[in-house]
Structure 1
Amino acid sequence: MDTENLKAIIIGLNLDNEQFEYSMTELAALAEANNLDVVDRLVQKLDHPDRATYFGKGKVEELRLSVLDHDADMVIVNDELSPSQIRNLEKAVETKIIDRTGLILEIFANRARTHEAKLQVQLAKLQYQLPRLHTSASQRLDQQTGSGGGGFTSRGSGESKIELNRRVIEKDIAHIKQELKDIQKSDLTQRKQRDSKSIPTVALVGYTNAGKSTIMNRLVNRYGENNEKQVMVKNMLFATLDTSVRKLIFEDNKTMLLSDTVGFVSKLPHQLVQAFRSTLAEAANADLLVQVVDESDENKELMMKTTEQTLKEIGVENIPMITVFNKADILDEPRPQRAGDNLVIAALEEDSIDELVNVIKENSYNDYVINEFLIPFNKGEIVNYLNTNANVISTEYVADGTQIQAELTAVDSDRFKDFIVTNE
């Protein structure tokens, strides 16, 4: 749906939740991320949502008048509504109603680029639509298919159309799940191949728009195997959905796989969390997580809580994590600052990236060992391998061959154990 230049009113219920104001600010940002113009904001404080219309009767009338005054194209609700609440509100205010889940799904649908991301979004949308079937939606399906109900004509027309629509959606869900399963098998094979090479994997995680992609690009530009493989950076929520994996090679020949995962947001729809589980598998299988936090945002504590809750929901637990408070330059804070494995940085500054690399390396190469090798002259391929894949500390040519002191993985050390010089 082309939403550019459409006007929206955002509404929300304050159920005495300390995060309410923040969630409404975020809802406005989500609307703007979908190219909508937010023209008004209505809130009401209640103990619980009205079962029929979400807002109370008087507030619904106020909303109807606001829609008329602003000539609004839609109303966006800060919570997930039931199908009947959406229908009743649409009837009362005479404009389109979109709940928070529907808005996020729409943003994801517009942002998806790869085949896998498109399938994941499509799956989430179908799972969202399934319990929301009603006759008018089924009639639209009828018009699209040109069908009168086919084999369901012996039943009541309303029931047959809903049943047909349900079966079509369920069939589509099963088909997409199978296709995603096939993609995941391929991804798992690639991941196993990477694991067998003992290359540490680091995943950038965190709230959307915290600066993960900027950090990714800075590292890829400096250390990337192919520094042209940059990821998209844009100052908006969910600028990128696809997990990108890049190989980094540091000056000391240590290698690393760095992934930039989809950003999180509060009240991330359950359907999306489930659908994007495979995309977020890069985080679940990482050796180290780097949580990127927007230091300049006054709601950063809530953002961190959301990130940790979402990671837990997708089964990412017991993985070492460092926390990077980015955008310190906006507040003009001293940077880089380090306290243990917590960093305050500005991703666009070289010394901040230097310090980040130091902390990542300290937490990623615990299995590296330093050995001294004596490589016979007729085993020059081993010398070449060490020069390319290890941190060579010293090289000396002696009568029996090339003597090399090198820092390397435990796997490579074992591989060349016959050439290790012992001090016996």
Structure 2
Amino acid sequence: MASQTKTKAESLLQLLPLEVKQNIMLNLDISSLYALFTTCRHFYNIYKSDGGIIIREITTNALGDFLPSAIALYAARRAEWVTELHVYSPSQLVDRIHRFGRKYLDRNNRPSLDRQDFSLSLAEELISFHSTVEKFALQFMEESLSEMFLNPRGRPIPKPTSTEISRVQLTFYCMEISRELLPYKISSGSDSDSEDSEHEMDDERPWEMLWHYFTPWENRIAESITKFLDKFIDGVVTQVIDGIVTQGPIELIERGTMVTGHWYILMGLQGVEGLADGSFDLEFISRIAADKRIDWSPLRHISYFSHAMSGFTWLRPAGGSLRVRSLNMDHLLARFPQEENGACDNWYFTIISEQHNPEAYLSLLSGILWWDRDRTNAQYPGVLPSTAEIQDMAEGKEYIGREFVPEVDYCKEIGY
């Protein structure tokens, strides 16, 4: 009887027009698509002929505007030179960063894949990671908003807008791409001819160059996200460190601290999710902390460009010094077009005010870095001038770098 029912159902499916069958497949999620074509030969035959088109459509629907960033991340995870960073000089790595950046990170020329390149495994990887990004971006925004908003009358906090959500999610992609490409600090050799010199000079130009393929306001948001992730990771791993303290010598305590500080760089955002859902249990974390074969010292502990948090290195040099920058940002607006410019204006006003209007600079709040302009104006009226007013403030002025002076003009090298 069961076989007869199945045969009848398949016969009815045969009567459906091909377009209807394709639309059924196009409106499934990726796991349901797999279940469908592995249990019904009619849909399997369609998958054999049109699988690339169907998977590309499902992936595009799931990721929307984030598909280019997801493709860039997919490519970063497979960059052949990443596993052999130590054999390349900093200048060779800069060259490879440029090759990658021009192919995958130019937002006016977004990367794409041909339909034949879309597979189930690729789609599952891209969609799974985006789901993780959505989860942690929401947690980050909710925690940030709860800290910034004061609601004495119990009014609900306005939910993040679509542009705020996109801005934060894109920053998570920037961070993940950067940690995949350059998870280790880059060293350019001994800083002295002395035989006693055991230290090496850091040449972080590849890292600095990579982050200039992203925006300065994303760099600032990435700092806030890093603090959020550190707090989250510490809340889980501290339990392990407490256990280590009672079990072993002081060196295990130090290694436990290293696990906390470098977990994101080593394991990625999905590794952080593993802490949240229990995939990495306490025994696993303890084993990593105690494993002396793991050298944590070369790993980065941040995933943003820390030496230029002001963002002045994204501005074009004025005159002959890389320390002095023009405050004109037309090149950035052309390179990074904005649907909503709240975060961009926040950064721009900050960098102008830092030297030319210090009272306004001190009044800005780091927690609003990712906010839309409307939210900022509603919560803190008068703190952020209009775009036109900010541009007037910048007219004819320059920014003079103080503590950090770059070795190269990143804007010129990248081409914006």
Task: Return the structure number with greater helix share.
Answer: 2
Decide which structure has the larger Cα Rg and report it: 1
TM-score using structure 2 length: 0.26
Could you state the TM-score of these two structures normalised by the residue count of structure 1?
A: 0.26
Higher-RCO chain (CA-CA 8 Å, sequence separation at least 6): 2
The structure with the largest strand share of the pair is 1
